[in-house]
Amino acid sequence: MGRKSDTAGTSTRREYLRYGGAVIGGGLLAGCLGGEGDTPAGTETDTTTTMETTAESDPTTMAETTGTETPAASSYSVSMVPVGDVTFEGVPETWVTNNGSWADMGIALGQDPPAGVWLPSRYHTHYYDEIPGVSVDKSSIERLSQDGVSKERFFAIDADVHVIDPNFITNRFKWTDDDVAEVERDVGPFFGNSIFSRNYSWHDDYRYYTLLAAFEKLAAVFDERERFEAFASIHDDFQTALAPAVPGLGERPAAAVLWAGGDEPEQFYPYVIDEGTSFKHLRDLGVRDALANTDVKDFHSSRGVIDFETLLSIDPTVILLRGQEAKSRDEFRDTVVTFLEDHPVASQLTAVENGDVYRAGPLYQGPITNLVVTERLARNLYGFEGQLFDRERVAAVVAGEF
């Protein structure tokens, strides 16, 4: 069942908003609400090892804007499924978003950090340590998910735009289409698409966006076309530099991607590499999926876990653990890896014996995060040495120096 905007003819605090299109309702609850070390928040199912290039950038994005394109204070619209056309009289200033993918895009576009994020613990701002002059203080970012999601919190934040797929909030929480419409009418519009996962049943009826295509959409919202194009150029050069760092298929180790929270994990949620943006770094690196051709089912479809005995029967060459991104390399080594090395069963795993257990990268990736974690994994998996992207160039684009 769809929902159309009821804002027409209504006097609101933000009269600049005109929201069109329908939102697809219904579907099943998926994922969960825990922090970084708890159960994962949704995964994907299909396997792909194709390399992503700038073809993922959506060439129709800017063509879909309507109204006057300049100056910035004039009316302009940006279209994205499932929200349709959202028209603004001015560039949004205060904003909230549901995860670190979109938050990172905003930082890359030179914006202030979002006022709220679904789970700030999964917005890993320490990746910015790699980029000179770029940092984000998360202490001022409000957690939107607190024993559910309160409409009052949205009213209190008073954001100009909510970079959240409205279907996410109606299918994951006790919100109705009327609740979404109320926030749109009295606070600000929703604009987003749940890009990180390809497994939500309620998302089957409308398109997903790749990382760069979604980034281009948000750039249109913030009127930052030049910054987007500068980052797209960085992405092009990064892909070019990455290609020779990836060995031939037969030389790549088979890696099992697992969620494992805490310092001493004994159960694991298996991930099968898919096309969601949370797997972009793995696809770009052509990672061979050790679980793809086994009887182990992706956690998203099975809600199952595996133990060390099951993992030993597969015996992957490399183990990539999610749920560990809040730890530094040394912290990860001194806790999780040490525990596995001392465990009577885990210590028999080839990956543990050879010291090939690594952090897998975050669920939520934006254009900066993806550069950092892809380069990190290229070093771990393939022994790459050196840098694959220019930190100073990234910093300059964030600062508005193109």
Could you report the per-residue pLDDT of 371-402, keeping only the tens digit for each?
Answer: 999 999 999 999 999 999 999 999 999 999 98
Could you give the CA distance from residue 23 to residue 176 in angstroms, rounded to a whole number? 11
Q: Is the pLDDT of residue 2 over 50?
A: no
The per-residue pLDDT for 21 is: 35
Q: Is the pLDDT of residue 55 over 60?
A: no
Poorest-confidence range of 61-65, 112-116, 123-127?
A: 61-65
User: What percent of the chain lies above the pLDDT cut of 90?
Assistant: 74
Please report how the helices 367-382 and 211-221 are oriented relative to each other, as an axis angle in degrees rounded to 10. Answer: 160
User: What mean pLDDT is predicted for residues 226-246?
Assistant: 98
The per-residue pLDDT for 8 is: 33
User: Cβ atoms within 10 A of the Cβ of 150, count?
Assistant: 13
The per-residue pLDDT for 23 is: 34
Angle value at C-alpha 270, between 264 and 275, nearest 5 degrees: 130
Tokens of 361: 């990268």
The per-residue pLDDT for 39 is: 58
User: What mean pLDDT is predicted for residues 280-308?
Assistant: 87
Nearest partner of 340 among 362, 311, 314, 361, judged by Cα: 311
Q: How far is CA 191 from CA 127, 129, 160, 287, in A?
A: 25, 29, 11, 32
CATH code for the structural domain at 2-30+52-241? 3.40.50.1980
- Amino acid 30 reads A
Angle value at C-alpha 331, between 328 and 337, nearest 5 degrees: 115
- CATH architecture for the domain at 247-397: 3-Layer(aba) Sandwich (3.40)
Q: Cis check for the bond before 82: say yes or no (omega within 30 of 0).
A: yes
Nearest partner of 359 among 327, 384, 335, 392, judged by Cα: 327
- Amino acid 200 reads Y
Angle value at C-alpha 322, between 31 and 374, nearest 5 degrees: 115
Is residue 238 within 8 A of residue 388, CB to CB? The reply is: yes
The per-residue pLDDT for 73 is: 55
pTM (2 d.p.): 0.84
User: What mean pLDDT is predicted for residues 94-118?
Assistant: 97
Angle value at C-alpha 115, between 110 and 116, nearest 5 degrees: 120
The per-residue pLDDT for 261 is: 87
The per-residue pLDDT for 304 is: 78
Q: How far is CA 101 from CA 41, 111, 206, 280, in A?
A: 14, 14, 20, 12
Higher pLDDT, 154 or 298: 154
CA-CA-CA-CA dihedral for 87, 367, 159, 20, to nearest 10: 30
The per-residue pLDDT for 45 is: 29
Nearest partner of 268 among 235, 304, 241, 292, judged by Cα: 304
Per-residue pLDDT tens digits for 329-373: 999 999 999 999 999 999 999 999 999 999 999 999 999 999 999
User: What mean pLDDT is predicted for residues 38-67?
Assistant: 39
Q: Is the pLDDT of residue 240 over 50?
A: yes
> Per-residue confidence at 301, pLDDT binned at 50, 70, 90?
low
Q: Is the pLDDT of residue 69 over 70?
A: no
The per-residue pLDDT for 402 is: 86
Q: How far is CA 38 from the centre of its chain?
A: 17
Poorest-confidence range of 40-54, 69-83, 262-276?
A: 40-54
Higher pLDDT, 1 or 171: 171
Q: What is the DSSP letter of 289?
A: E
Q: Cis check for the bond before 253: say yes or no (omega within 30 of 0).
A: no
Q: Where in the chain is the domain with CATH 3.40.50.1980?
A: 2-30+52-241, 247-397
User: What mean pLDDT is predicted for residues 236-264?
Assistant: 96
Is residue 99 within 8 A of residue 117, CB to CB? The reply is: yes
Angle value at C-alpha 267, between 261 and 272, nearest 5 degrees: 85
> Per-residue confidence at 107, pLDDT binned at 50, 70, 90?
very high
Could you give the CA distance from residue 80 to residue 223 in angstroms, rounded to a whole number? 15
The per-residue pLDDT for 36 is: 54
Mean pLDDT, the chain, rounded, equals: 85
Contacts of 331 (CB under 8 A, 6+ apart): none
